[in-house]
Every structure is written in structure tokens, then in C-alpha cells.
Amino acid sequence: MSTPFFREAGLPRQMPDVGGAHERYNTEIGVVRAVHADIWCVDVEPQAGGLLRNVQLADYALPEVHVDGERPSYVEFWHRGGEIQDVWCRQVHWRSFPGPETAGEPEKRYYHKHLKLERRGDITVRITPDNRIYLYDAESGDYCLYEQETRTFHVIGPHVFLGTDEADRIELHTGDPLTNQVRIRIPKALIGQAAIEDTDGISYKAGEIIHLVSDVIKLTATTAITLDPPRINFGTATASEQVVLGNLFQTFLNAFLTYFNGHQHSGVQTGPGTSGPPTAPTALMPNSTLSTIARVSQ
């Protein structure tokens, strides 16, 4: 009766052991000296010395190449089935960080305080014993933290985007005096206690209307409040009465009063009766004294 052959495609055949020359049942540690992404393998330098080429990676992400004292990249390797030619490995993430003996380092570097810790370059994914989940944790100090107990997300970084890159989104840009701003790119927004359109608070529809609804609406500015539309309606949307322009009206009225105070009549007769009209009649109020923008209703 033959033994079924269950070896995966591309893996080496099992070799008969003669005097234990091909059996390796221990697990060892080493550093990554090369990465072969096309075949999902790495070259490993064992702690005992030597070099193992094309070691199969039993992990979901490729490790980095080890650099002594600068970028640690360790793997644990073993010989599957004890076969010396069939070497597998997985990453040892905690070796990417200083241990508890590193005095003065930030708490996040103490790997022994974490339930889960994985490192990719300058980015770390971690879960802490108090149920805080760092979705990312960069050496720049930026992080995204989810606190399960309070069901709260903390997103810390100078540029934060919520939504999509192509269309609707909310942007927060901080840290640069020239770009400190919040940007909201959205076709419709409802802000208020009930957040119901045209009911309370602010209703915004792009290119159509901004509707403010409240018992009192107050605008306060230390310098000026500027309204710059082609038309302003006071009272109702159908207001038709034009607003008088104060400075032009003042000029017109002062000219009239000056003329009125110094005018003389023609054809004056002594005794009872009425005088004739002024020798130079006063002009009527011109349309230029009326606003073409502001309208009020009665």
C-alpha cells in the first residue's frame, strides 16, 4: 500500500532520514537578510550563524530587511516535519521595539504592556490590555485610537479626511498658520437640534439655499458685516419697495432745502391773493437715490 502524496506544488520532497542527518525539530531565531516578494520567501541569517535562502514565509505580510541597530527585523524559523530542506518562518514583531529596560522611552514602546503588537516600518498596529485599539501608530506621533469602553475614536494628525477623496468629505487641516481650516464638501447639510430640513438650525443645499431658523438670529462683528448679493429682500421673498440710499438722498435733500430756503417767487402782487410759481422749479427726486439691491415690504 503506497503512502498518499500530499505535498504542495513547488515544495521540496521529503527525504528519508539516515542517522538523523536530515531531521531538525527545534525552533530558532534569526534576522532577515533579503526579501523575495515574488515567491513569498526571505533569506534568514540564524542566530547561530550561516544563511538560509528562500525560507517560506508563514505570515500575511512581508518583513523588512534587517539593519543592525537601526531597523530590527527578526523571524522565528523551523523545519516543517523535521525536514532540513523545508524551512518556514514567521515574524517576531515584538523584537522591533526596545524592551522594558529602555528607560525614558514612551509607554507605547513597551511591548510587554500590549496584547497584540505588529510593526511595519514606522507604522504599528496594537491592542492594549485596557481595550484600546490603535488602528495605526506612527513614529511621527500621529495615531488613530478606538476606546471600546467609551466607544470613542480619536484621530490625531495634521490632516484628517472623512468621506471620499473624489466627492463628499470633511477635511481638517491644522499646524500650519496658512492652512488652518475646516473644509466641508457636501451638497446638503442639516445642522440643528432635530437636524430636519427647514425646521431648526441651518439647512444648506448647494447652489440653492442656506436657511437659518431660530427664535433669534444675531450677527456680531467688530469691524463690519458685508452682504454682497445681486438682490436683498427684507420682509418677504417678494418685497418690491426699493430702499433709499442714505448718502445720495441726503445730498438731494440738502440741495432742495438750500434752494427752498433762498427761493424767490415771480409775479408777486400786493394785497390779498396768491403768488406765482418759483422762477426756477425744484427737480424731482432722482431714481439714483433708490437702492437697486435691497427691497423691503410694507
Domain ranges of the chain: 27-96, 107-156, 163-217, 229-253+289-298
Separation CA 4–CA 14 (nearest Å):
13
Residues 229-259 pLDDT 10s: 888 998 888 998 898 888 888 898 888 888 8
Q: What is the DSSP letter of 184?
A: E
pTM for this model (two decimals): 0.57
Place of cell 505570515: 59
Separation CA 77–CA 62 (nearest Å):
14
pLDDT above 70 (res 276): no
Poorest-pLDDT segment among 14-23, 68-77, 242-251, 283-292: 14-23
pLDDT mean over 126-133: 76
Residue 134 vs residue 37, higher pLDDT:
37
What dotted CATH number matches 27-96? 2.40.50.230
pLDDT computed for residue 12 by the predictor: 54
Which residue blocks in 131-274 are alpha helix, DSSP H? Answer: 246-262
pLDDT above 60 (res 107): no
Q: What is the mean pLDDT of the chain?
A: 81
The end-to-end CA distance of the chain, in Å, is: 107
Beta sheet of 209-213, edge-to-edge order? 188-191, 201-205, 209-213
